[in-house]
Structure 1
Amino acid sequence: MPKGGRQILSLVPVVAPFVVLIALWQFSVDFFQVREFLLPGPWKVVQAMAGGDIPWTRHILFTGAAILGAFALAASAGVLLGTAIAWSQPVARSLTPFLVFVNVLPKVAIAPLFMLWLGYGIWPNMLIGALIGFFPVVINTAVGLTQIEDDMLDLGRVFNAPTWKIFLKIRMPNALPYILSALKVTATAAVVGAVVGEFVASQAGLGFVIVTTQSSMNTPVAFAALAWISIIGLLLYGAVSGIAAIAAPWAQGSDR
């Protein structure tokens, strides 16, 4: 089979669930004659996504910036905290319980506090998204930096490598697949967190669109906002997966 045909066939398992979902969705709406304000059909949602009544570009850019900011904060804070935990046992003993405490806090409950402290805008949404997404990066970074074969560390000591060189040349490459795997989880968590922030403390963004359309029961627009959120999340996840395939190709087999 030609290479182009193989590439098309490889996309079938990826596209098939979406096609089945949309087909079942359309069939359910037509067969049960569901009213539009309860469940609009796929075509109505597509029309709403391209409609001019809502300034989609403004809301998409606002939400996209909040998601990217939340992801960047979660990734950088997670790697730094995970490195600190792996570097020092006293730091690990003192920091780990506090991080678990922060992780189990109900983020929806503290979102109004961020609004009170920071006001309306993008920063509360970014912080909520970062709080939801940072913990997997912390754990995976610490595990990747510490779970190393003793032979590799002994090899570094045989050559009298200093601690910082062992960290950069042995520990960090070993941790890279763990970190990249956690970033895939963080990519989706950042989307959830940023949108949750927009539900509570925002005057723009796709989450704000969903909240404002509830009063008017404009369900097609709400579904259109959900579709745009999903597209942003898929793009971010795909970008992280692509970076992981380039930065750590040796780990891709085990990741699947």
Structure 2
Amino acid sequence: MKNLHSYLLSSLLVLVFLIVWEIGASLYNKSFILPTPTAIAGELWELKTVLLLNHLPSTLLIILIGLVVSIVMGVTLAVWMNMSKTAEKTFYPLIITSQTIPVIALAPIFVLWFGYTIWSKVVVAILITFFPLTVSTFDGLRSSNKDLKELLLTMGASKKDIFFKLDVPSALPSFFSGLKVAVTMSVIGAAIGEWLGAQAGLGYFSRRMMTQFDGAAVFAPIVLLSAVGIFLFLLVICLEKIILKWREKQ
């Protein structure tokens, strides 16, 4: 009942926001700057074929490749830093430093290096998603119970046994927390990459419509991008519940 009550309150808040937006945009009466939600919904319906068949697949491919590469690289680096103090002291400061550089400033450089191919957008997505995955996994690996580790060692467990039976289960909740952040950030990374230079994609389409002063068409792909981010977030939550059943029981 508590969850249902929370969902109802959230839905009510969104509904109030949309009503205020609809009334405010109608009074403002400049649709090329601030279109109404109904106008955006109508434009999204009219453009559904173009967006879903021509531009959404390009964006999803960027998101998928970026996430897979970030997961593989991030988890590998997190495990290495957990096992080696030298690796931690070498790479951890570099990981932190990488987040101090605005991605929007690097994106044009990636376009210069890789051209208008998919890889210039993938690199942007990787740069945004790599940090939360690596740091959260690393923190999760370090959070394993030291007393349990000593107990396993006294019982003759090998480093491999400790890693898979203690460190990995301890790190999984943190990994999924980082993954929840990464999947939503990957959508932003893909959109930024497409915005600055692409031949297809939801971000590219939104930018193209901006040059035509079509406010509703600018917002339509943004709404679709938001829906993709929400879907991926919910997908990670479902995956987390399936894999971490033991935590739910506890």
TM-score of the pair, normalised by structure 2: 0.92
Match of 2:126 in 1: 130
Instruction: Give me the whole-angstrom Cα distance separating, in 1, the residues matched to 2:12 and 2:117.
Output: 38
1:236 is the counterpart of 2:235:
no
Instruction: Give me the whole-angstrom Cα distance separating, in 1, the residues matched to 2:49 and 2:92.
Output: 45
Which amino acid in 1 is paired with 2:162?
I
1:183 is the counterpart of 2:179:
yes
Question: CA shift at 1:121, angstroms?
Answer: 2.4
1:72 is the counterpart of 2:76:
no
Question: CA shift at 1:8, angstroms?
Answer: 6.2
Question: CA shift at 1:50, angstroms?
Answer: 1.5
Match of 2:88 in 1: 92
RMSD: 2.2
Unaligned runs of 5+ in 1: none
Instruction: Give me the whole-angstrom Cα distance separating, in 2, the residues matched to 1:24 and 1:229.
Output: 22
* Residues 53 and 96 (structure 1), Cα distance of their counterparts in 2 relative to 1, 3 Å cut: closer
Aligned length: 249
Match of 2:20 in 1: 24
Q: Which structure 2 residues correspond to residues 130-209 of structure 1 after superposition, within 5 A?
A: 130-209=126-205
Which amino acid in 2 is paired with 1:101?
T
TM-score of the pair, normalised by structure 1: 0.90
Question: CA shift at 1:192, angstroms?
Answer: 0.9
Question: CA shift at 1:105, angstroms?
Answer: 2.1
Which amino acid in 2 is paired with 1:47?
G
SS at match of 1:12: helix
Instruction: Give me the whole-angstrom Cα distance separating, in 1, the residues matched to 2:168 and 2:7.
Output: 34
* Residues 52 and 108 (structure 1), Cα distance of their counterparts in 2 relative to 1, 3 Å cut: closer
Match of 2:46 in 1: 51
2:221 aligned to which of 194, 206, 225: 225
Unaligned runs of 5+ in 2: none
SS at match of 2:116: coil
Which amino acid in 2 is paired with 1:142?
F
Deviation beyond 3 Å, 4+ runs, structure 1: 5-11, 249-254
> For each residue in 1:165-212, what CA deviation from the matched residue of structure 2 results, as whole angstroms up to 9, or x when unmatched?
100110000000000011111111111111110111211111111111
SS at match of 2:222: helix
Instruction: Say which is worse superposed, 176-185 or 99-108, in terms of deviation.
Output: 99-108
